[in-house]
Structure 1
């Protein structure tokens, strides 16, 4: 799941560090591809902020495990892949990869556009997490903090998740993600075709997308 979909499960949480932890695996991956954290190896901490980040991180892993093994994910990622296959002729982008990421971004779009989650609430939590305490967590994991903190400040400042309200912006975000992996991800005509697929499939998902959130929430409660 993407940032706002993870936030859905902590939308009523009042702990900024837990919310940060719930999206930090993805933030850290974007900030520094070489940084790795084995969260299960960390000993118990006396620092409440670090304890909360660890708790959020573990919840992130659990949510993704449920999501990626769900019939919902397997079905819709596959259907999107099939729609992307003719679009990606002569492109290096893998249709399965694009189907996977597109599904996650469409879910964020639906949560935002239905006012189920609010980007303001998400960013407010991130702003309330003190850089010094984030640095303590990174240093504990033998990661030099400044590279992440610079990325984190930019991520909050740019607020690009607001753009996910628009399907066109979702397609643009997909191009940006793919461009980090493949030098020439989409041509302009391919980007336009990806946009049409996103719009089409968003309408398919709209009536039933909350099923995966309800299912995942139930599994989280069961433990």
Structure 2
């Protein structure tokens, strides 16, 4: 799941350390793709409450992703999207399965916004309140010592507030292209971008009818999981 979809499950949580932990795996990956954290190995050293809360959020992120990626909802929709876009990507280096996966997650974020299930402004304001000393401690305990690089990325992420742009379906294609460019230098031609945009806009409109089912399903699982 993408940033706002993860935030959905803690949209009423006013603890900035827990909230940033919920999206920290993706923030770290975006700040520097080579960083690979295994924070469960350092759990014994999280004796500060705020550091511990960051780890709580991290674990919640992993749990949500595991539930989502193993769900019938994910499998069915990614397969359907893949089938629709595969002919368009015939001469593209981008893998249809990867594009379908990312497109679905971006569409879900967009629908959460347009259906007023989350507010991007609220998300960013909570992130801005995080205890930076605790976050720096968490990162350093997990061998991320170039914390200046991370915090520069975090500040730019909050200032840009680009997630709110997902309200417009055409912007989802822009975000999809940017993500794919991290792997392939030129994933899509201009014609392919136009074709993909048309397919994704149509698919998102159909998805609107029942997209909340997966959020309700995962939320129910989280509420019944005492470890969460």
For the superposition of Structure 1 and Structure 2, which TM-score range results when normalised by the shorter chain? over 0.9
Paired with 1:167 and 1:206, the residues of 2 have a C-alpha distance of 12
Question: Residue 115 of structure 1 corresponds to which residue in structure 2?
Answer: 116
Question: Residue 197 of structure 1 corresponds to which residue in structure 2?
Answer: 199
Question: Residue 20 of structure 2 corresponds to which residue in structure 1?
Answer: 20
Question: Residue 183 of structure 1 corresponds to which residue in structure 2?
Answer: 185
Paired with 1:167 and 1:137, the residues of 2 have a C-alpha distance of 36
Residue 116 of structure 1 and its aligned partner are, at CA, apart by 0.7
Q: Deviations over 1:46-76 (max 9, x none)?
A: 2111111100000000000000000000000
Paired with 2:169 and 2:176, the residues of 1 have a C-alpha distance of 11
Describe the SS at the equivalent of 1:42: helix
Question: Paired residues, what number?
Answer: 223
Q: Alignment partner for residue 206 of structure 1, among 204, 208, 215?
A: 208
RMSD: 0.9
Gaps of 5+ in 1: none
Paired with 1:52 and 1:20, the residues of 2 have a C-alpha distance of 9
Residue 132 of structure 1 and its aligned partner are, at CA, apart by 2.6
- The answer to whether 1:101 aligns with 2:119 is no
Residue 146 of structure 1 and its aligned partner are, at CA, apart by 1.3
- The answer to whether 1:48 aligns with 2:49 is yes
Question: Residue 171 of structure 2 corresponds to which residue in structure 1?
Answer: 169
Gaps of 5+ in 2: none
Describe the SS at the equivalent of 2:185: coil
Question: Residue 81 of structure 1 corresponds to which residue in structure 2?
Answer: 82
Paired with 1:206 and 1:159, the residues of 2 have a C-alpha distance of 24
Q: Deviations over 1:91-123 (max 9, x none)?
A: 000000000000000000000001110001100
Question: What TM-score comes out, normalization by structure 1 length?
Answer: 0.98
Describe the SS at the equivalent of 2:43: coil
Question: Residue 127 of structure 2 corresponds to which residue in structure 1?
Answer: 126
